[in-house]
Amino acid sequence: MEWTCHLDEADIQDHIAKVFGTGYVVANVTKMHGGAQKVVYKIDCRNGFACVLYVWDLATNYFQEEIAKEDMHERSFGGHSFNINNRFLREHGIQTPALYDLNTERTRYPFDYALVEYIKGQKAEAYFHHSDPRIQDQVFQRLKDMIAGMHKNERQYYGKPDQSVNRLDRCHLMQLENAKEQLSYVVQHIESIRENQDRLLALLDKLDSRINSRKRYGFIHGELGPDHILVTDQLEPYLIDIEGAQFFDIEHEHTFLELRFGEYYRYLKNEHLDPSRMLFYRLHHYISLTSGGLKLLHRGFPDQRFARNLAEYHARNTLQFIKEWT
C-alpha cells in the first residue's frame, strides 16, 4: 500500500516508540478528514492504542499567503500556538485532546508536528437532529457550560495566553482592517458586492464608531463551529482546532456560534453581550467568510462545492445586512 503520510514510515515508528515505549508498534496510519490549516492522521498501534498526528505544513495550507503576512504574535498556525492554547485550556478545565509530544525542531522535516490524544466520538453537528431530545439537550447544555466557563477566563488586554504586553487599542480594530482587506478581494470576483463596496466600507466605519472601549477580554476559541467540537460516547464535548484561541471580545465568538449553530444557538445564547459589537462582528464574519470561500475555491481546495457554497451564502448574507442596516 502506498505511503501517503508526511512522515516516513520508519520515522513514525521510531517516534511512537520514543514517546510511548517499544511495546507500541504502528499497525496503520490513516489520513483523517482535515481542514484548510493542517493535516491530520490517525495512528493505530497493534496493542489497540490509537493517537493522532497533527502536521502544520505551510506548503499545504490554503491560507499560506495570509499567514506569511501575519505578525508572530497574531499567528494562529503552527505547533507553538497549539501548545500554548492546549496548556491554557487544560489548566483551566476546558476539555481538549491531550498533547503527548510536540516537535518544532524542523531539522528532519520543514514543519511542526505533534502526537495528540485520539478522542473517539462525533462532531457536535451530529446532534442537531438527534432522535432523542433528552440526549440533544444534555449535549448542548454541556457545551454551553464549557463555552461559558472558557469565556469567564478574563484579563485586561487581548491576545495569546503567553503575551504579556498590555495593548491599549481595541481588539475589534484588527477585525475592521481585516474586513476591509477581505472586501478588497471579494469585489474582484463578485459583481453585486463590488457595486456595494462604498456602502459596505461606510457601514463598517459606522459600526466601528459605536463601539466603546473595554478593559476585560474573555478567552475564546476563535472559530467555534460544530465541526470543531467532538462529542464522546459519554456525551462529553472536546474542543479541537484550537490554534486561534486567545483573549478577545467574546462577541466575536458568539456571532460565529450564532452563524454556525443556527437554531441550536438557543442553547448557547448569552444575554449579556454588547449589541454594537455583535452587529460589527456579524458583518465582519459575512465578509471574511465570503472571501475565505473564494480563496479556497481559487486555490484548489478539494471540496470545490463546499467552497463555492460558502462564498455564495455569505455574499447573500452581506447584501442582506446592507439592506437591513443602511
Q: How confident is the model at residue 168 (pLDDT cuts 50, 70, 90)?
A: low
Residue 55 burial (10 A CB sphere; 0-12, 13-18, 19+): buried
**Sheet with 121-123, edge to edge strand ranges:** 121-123, 229-232, 237-239
Q: pLDDT tens-digit profile of 233-281?
A: 999 999 999 999 999 999 999 999 999 999 999 999 999 999 999 999 9
Q: Is the dihedral of CA 71, 287, 181, 34 positive or negative?
A: positive
Amino acid at site 100: Y
Helix or strand run (H / E) with residue 55: strand 50-56
Please give the Cα distance from 49 to 17 (Å, whole number): 12
Domain residue ranges in the chain: 9-118, 122-325
Amino acid at site 310: L
* Nearest residue to 287 (alpha-carbon basis) of 209, 206, 210, 184: 184
Q: Is the dihedral of CA 187, 190, 196, 199 positive or negative?
A: negative
pLDDT at 1 over 90: no
CB 140 within 8 A of CB 127: yes
pLDDT at 225 over 60: yes
Q: At what angle do helices 133-151 and 250-261 cross, to 10 degrees?
A: 160
Taking the domain 9-118, which CATH number applies? 3.30.200.20
So what's the pLDDT on residue 187? 98
Q: Tell me whether the CATH fold assigned to 9-118 matches the one assigned to 122-325.
A: no
Q: pLDDT tens-digit profile of 47-67?
A: 999 999 999 998 888 888 777
* Nearest residue to 207 (alpha-carbon basis) of 255, 268, 248: 255
So what's the pLDDT on residue 3? 72
CB 235 within 8 A of CB 139: yes
Q: Please tell me the pTM assigned to this model.
A: 0.94
Q: Are strands 154-155 and 121-123 parallel, antiparallel or unpaired?
A: unpaired
**Chain centroid, CA 80 distance in Å:** 15
pLDDT at 13 over 70: yes
**Helices of type H across 152-242:** 172-186, 191-194, 197-209
So what's the pLDDT on residue 59? 85
Place of cell 489520513: 31
So what's the pLDDT on residue 60? 82
So what's the pLDDT on residue 54? 96
Can you spell out the DSSP letters for 275-324?
Answer: HHHHHHHHHHHHHHHHHHHHHHHHTT-S-HHHHHHHHHHHHHHHHHHHHH
CB 216 within 8 A of CB 244: no
CATH fold label, 122-325: Aminoglycoside 3'-phosphotransferase; Chain: A, domain 2 (3.90.1200)
pLDDT at 76 over 90: no
In this prediction, residues 3-27 reach a mean pLDDT of: 94
26-35, 86-95, 220-229: least confidently modelled range:
26-35
Is residue 154 helix, strand or coil?
strand
Q: pLDDT tens-digit profile of 110-142?
A: 999 999 999 999 999 999 999 999 999 999 999
So what's the pLDDT on residue 75? 57
Please give the Cα distance from 103 to 278 (Å, whole number): 39
